[in-house]
């Protein structure tokens, strides 16, 4: 049963790698410039644990509690990524477990993370979530807001802002995500000039199952995939 599931998963990953490779070639980019984060929120820890065995070491969760739970259950050298909203009362427990927080959606959260990082004597890597598609229901900094708060971000020394993250509007036609991704890249380039070390602004976390190839063409360095990896496999969830 597990063997079958594992070979299904291996096939899926091989197919996805082919699509990633093709998108990289179209964009003249190297595969090594980008990291696939497997978002495991729809599957159980046993299924998530197969990923590192298949060479996928970057796993993502959108809810902090679920990240805590899976981090305790999935063995091996896994790098956990938080891709969803973090409430401030969950910072303390999340920090020691997480490799990158993709979803820092306010200055207040960023400052609270910086403080806790100082307390825990940790360097925290974070991306700023930008609501680049302009939908009111979404978390994140507004595209104009973010350049305004850059001087405040630049004062923080315990958190390292590594780049920007966005979610495009969910559309069937992946081309419709392209303007959102292009805007995120422009913002990143702008912001680079106003932030100094330890901040680096090298990364763009963008692209999900429905639009990751366009995201790669537009410069993504992290793509966050769930459905395309796990669809249909989670029915075997035990
Ligand atoms: C669930 C989720 C993903 C993965 O989405 P799929 O469309 O299933 O690939 C990526 N990013 C975030 C923030 C998510 O919550």
Cβ < 6 Å from ligand 1: which residues?
A: 39, 41, 62, 83-84, 167, 208-210, 224-228
**What's the 224 CA to ligand 1 centre distance in angstroms?**
6
Tell me, letter by letter, the H, E, C secondary structure of the chain: CHHHHHHHHHHHHHHHHHHHHHHHHHHCCCHHHCEEEEECCCCCHHHHCHHHHCCCCEEEECCHHHHHHHHHHCCCCCEEEECCCCCHHHHHHHHHHEEEEEEECCHHHHHHHHHHHHHCCCCEEEEEEECCCCCCCCCCECHHHHHHCHHHHHCCCCEEEEEEECCCCCCCCHHHHHHHHHHHHHHHHHHHCCCCCCCCCCEEECCCCCCHHHHHHCCCCEEEECHHHHCCHHHHCC
From the CA of 225, give the closest atom in ligand 1: 9
Q: Which of 16, 36, 39 gets mutated to test ligand 1 (max ligand atoms within 8 A of its CB)? A: 39
Q: What is each CA distance from 184 to 25, 127, 134, 190, 195, in whole angstroms?
A: 22, 12, 12, 10, 16
Taking the C-alpha atoms of residue 172 and residue 170, their distance in angstroms, rounded to an integer, is: 7
pLDDT in tens, 43-78: 999 999 999 999 999 999 999 999 999 999 998 899
Indicate which residue's Cα is closest to atom 15 of ligand 1: 62
Phi-psi region of 197 (alpha: psi -120 to 50; beta: other; left: phi over 0): beta
Q: Which of 12, 19, 60 gets mutated to test ligand 1 (max ligand atoms within 8 A of its CB)? A: 60
Rg over alpha carbons for the chain, rounded to the nearest Å, is 17
Indicate which residue's Cα is closest to atom 11 of ligand 1: 224
pLDDT tens digits for the chain (238 residues)? 578 999 999 999 999 999 999 999 999 999 999 999 999 999 999 999 999 999 999 999 999 999 999 999 998 899 999 999 999 999 999 999 999 999 999 999 999 999 999 999 998 999 999 998 878 778 899 998 998 999 999 999 999 999 999 998 877 778 889 999 999 999 999 999 889 988 999 999 999 999 999 999 999 999 999 999 999 987 544 4
Give the N- to C-terminal CA distance of the chain in Å, as an integer.
11
Prediction pTM value:
0.95
**What's the 118 CA to ligand 1 centre distance in angstroms?**
30
Phi-psi region of 202 (alpha: psi -120 to 50; beta: other; left: phi over 0): alpha
């Amino acid at each position: 049963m597990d063997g079958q599931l594992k070979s299904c998963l291996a096939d899926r990953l091989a197919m996805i790698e082919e699509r990633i490779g093709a998108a990289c070639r179209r964009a003249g980019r190297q595969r090594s410039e980008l990291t696939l984060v497997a978002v495991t929120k729809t599957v159980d820890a046993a299924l998530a644990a197969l990923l590192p065995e298949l060479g996928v070491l970057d796993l993502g969760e959108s809810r902090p509690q679920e990240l805590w739970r899976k981090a305790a259950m999935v063995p091996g050298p896994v790098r956990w990524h938080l891709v969803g909203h973090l409430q401030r009362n969950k910072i303390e427990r999340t920090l020691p477990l997480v490799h990158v927080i993709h979803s820092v959606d306010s200055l207040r959260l960023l400052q609270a993370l910086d403080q806790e990082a100082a307390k825990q004597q940790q360097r925290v890597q974070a991306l700023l979530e930008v609501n680049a598609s302009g939908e009111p229901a979404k978390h994140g900094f507004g595209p104009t807001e973010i350049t305004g708060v850059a001087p405040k971000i630049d004062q923080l020394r315990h958190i390292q802002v590594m780049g920007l993250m966005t979610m495009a509007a969910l559309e069937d036609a992946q081309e419709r995500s392209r303007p959102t991704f292009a805007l995120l890249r422009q913002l990143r380039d702008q912001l680079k000039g106003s932030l100094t070390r330890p901040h680096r602004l090298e990364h763009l976390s963008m692209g999900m199952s429905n639009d990751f190839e366009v995201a790669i063409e537009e410069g993504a360095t992290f793509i966050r995939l769930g459905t395309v990896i796990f669809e249909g496999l989670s029915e075997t969830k035990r």
